[in-house]
Amino acid sequence: MSGISDTERMITLKTVEGTLFDVKSSIAKDLKTVQAFIDDSDDDVTSPIPLPNVFTRELSRILDYLNNHHRFRSGIEKADEEMARYDAEFAKSMSHEELKALILAANYLNVKDLLEFLNQTVADVIQNKSVEFVRNFFGIENDYTPEEEEKLRNENEWAFNGVEQD
């Protein structure tokens, strides 16, 4: 931990597997759960903060995302395009299992922007699918009677135009 300026403190985080991550305090602010822990502590936090629900793979991805976004935001104009491209690649690089694990980790750590982005990614996956697909996807049982379903479909008919049929 050499070469740290006075203005940028480092926080150490420990994952389930015991891996230690040194994180700048400015980045740690985006991990609201961690920040709350720091704020609640009377003294300066020197020992590693344990994250019992977070695995190394997820924390590594989250810190990657935050570091990049901080970099984009602190630069000058063109950053929006670069950021969009980074986000697209980031989402594409994960399998569904990895995506879900990352959402749960981001939710636990309360990383607002990343969580919004990931939830939007899942919404994008299901948005053009049929109702039946969505039921299977989330493991939801259809608790409508056929008559109820028909009535509901008629009421919301205006929204069904141009979408794959059930």
Partner 1 sequence: MLRHLIAHLHQLLHTSSTTSPTSPSSSFILQSSSLHNHPRWSFLDIDDNSVDDCCGLVMAAGKSGNLRMVEPLKHPSTKKPRRDQSRGKSSGRSSMTEVMEQQIWKDFPEDLIEAVIARLPIATFFRFRSVCWRWNSLLNSPSFSQHCAQVQHANPWFYIITQERANSGAMYDPSIKKWYHPTVSALPSKLILFPVASAGGLVCFLEIGQRNFFVCNPLTQSFKELPARSVKVWSPVAVGMTANGNLTGAGYKILWVTCDGEYEVYDSMRKSWSRPGNMPVGIKLPLALNFKSQSISIDSTIYFMHSDPEGIVSYDIATGVWKQYIIPAPLHLTDHTLAECDGRIMLVGLLTKNAATCVCIWELQKMTLLWKEVDRMPNEWCLDLYGKHIKMTCLGNKGLLMLSLRSKHMNRLVTYNIASREWLKVPGCVAPRGRKRQSIACGTAFHPCLTAVA
Give long-range contacts, CB 8 A cutoff, 24+ apart: 48-52: 48/12, 48/13, 48/14, 48/20, 49/11, 49/12, 49/13, 49/14, 50/14, 51/13, 51/14, 51/15, 51/16, 51/108, 51/109, 52/16
When the beta carbons of 43 and 155 are compared against partner 1, the nearer one is 155
Q: Does residue 103 interact with partner 1 by CB under 8 A? A: yes
DSSP type of residue 48 = P
Residues 6+ away with beta carbon under 8 Å from 38? 11, 28, 45, 49
When the beta carbons of 6 and 138 are compared against partner 1, the nearer one is 138
CA of 74: how far to CAs of 5, 31, 148, in Å? 18, 19, 53
Which residues inside 114-133 make contact with partner 1, applying CB under 8 A?
115-116, 119-120, 122-123, 126-128, 131
Q: Does residue 156 interact with partner 1 by CB under 8 A? A: yes
Which residues inside 28-47 make contact with partner 1, applying CB under 8 A?
none
Pick the piece of the chain touching partner 1 (CB under 8 A) from 14-22, 41-49, 59-67, 93-101.
93-101
When the beta carbons of 47 and 156 are compared against partner 1, the nearer one is 156
When the beta carbons of 26 and 119 are compared against partner 1, the nearer one is 119
48 close to 14: Cβ distance less than 8 angstroms: yes
Pick the piece of the chain touching partner 1 (CB under 8 A) from 28-36, 48-56, 59-67, 91-99.
91-99
When the beta carbons of 73 and 133 are compared against partner 1, the nearer one is 133
Residue matched to tokens 């976004």: 69
Residues near partner 1 (CB under 8 A) are 95-97, 100, 103-104, 107, 115-116, 119-120, 122-123, 126-128, 131, 134-144, 149, 152-161, 163
